[in-house]
């Protein structure tokens, strides 16, 4: 039996577009900008390392607070690292539904969003099955 190594980069809990109301508007704007830079660093690292897949384990954004700018940011960042697959399991703060960011976005072919509340397999890599579900 022949084995091969694979590399995955996993992240979660960015909470893009969170209100951060407790610190005032300027601090909230600063924090949201930092989170966007963090996303760019994550996708940049995925490309630099040539990972086999980028995995998002939920809470990418704050459920009903996402902006059109955030949709565009995510579409562009994930498209920029194609053909690296991006697998997203929506979490409890960014659940999947007809009005979610996940439904609003025009994802590239390299993005897979788990949309079922049941465990579902993704078989996009030879010999590897990745399981996920949506909240």
Whether 56 and 68 have beta carbons less than 8 Å apart is answered as no
**pLDDT computed for residue 21 by the predictor:** 82
Burial group, residue 40, by CB count within 10 angstroms (0-12, 13-18, 19+)? middle
**pLDDT computed for residue 87 by the predictor:** 99
**pLDDT computed for residue 121 by the predictor:** 98
Instruction: State pTM to two decimals.
Output: 0.93
Q: Which CATH number fits domain 8-132: 1.10.1740.10, 3.40.50.300, 3.30.930.10, 3.60.21.10?
A: 3.60.21.10
State which residues of the chain have pLDDT below 50.
none
């Amino acid at each position: 039996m022949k084995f091969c190594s694979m590399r995955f980069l996993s992240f979660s809990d960015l909470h893009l577009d969170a209100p951060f109301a407790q610190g005032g508007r300027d601090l909230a704007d600063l924090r949201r900008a930092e989170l966007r830079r963090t996303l760019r660093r994550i996708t940049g690292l995925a490309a630099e390392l040539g990972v086999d897949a980028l995995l998002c384990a939920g809470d990418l954004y704050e459920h009903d607070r996402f902006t059109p700018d955030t949709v565009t940011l995510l579409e562009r960042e994930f498209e920029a690292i194609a053909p690296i697959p991006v697998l997203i399991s929506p979490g409890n703060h960014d659940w999947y539904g007809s009005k979610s960011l996940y439904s609003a976005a025009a994802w590239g072919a390299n993005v897979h969003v788990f949309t079922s509340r049941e465990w579902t397999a993704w078989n996009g890599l030879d010999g590897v099955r990745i399981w996920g579900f949506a909240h």
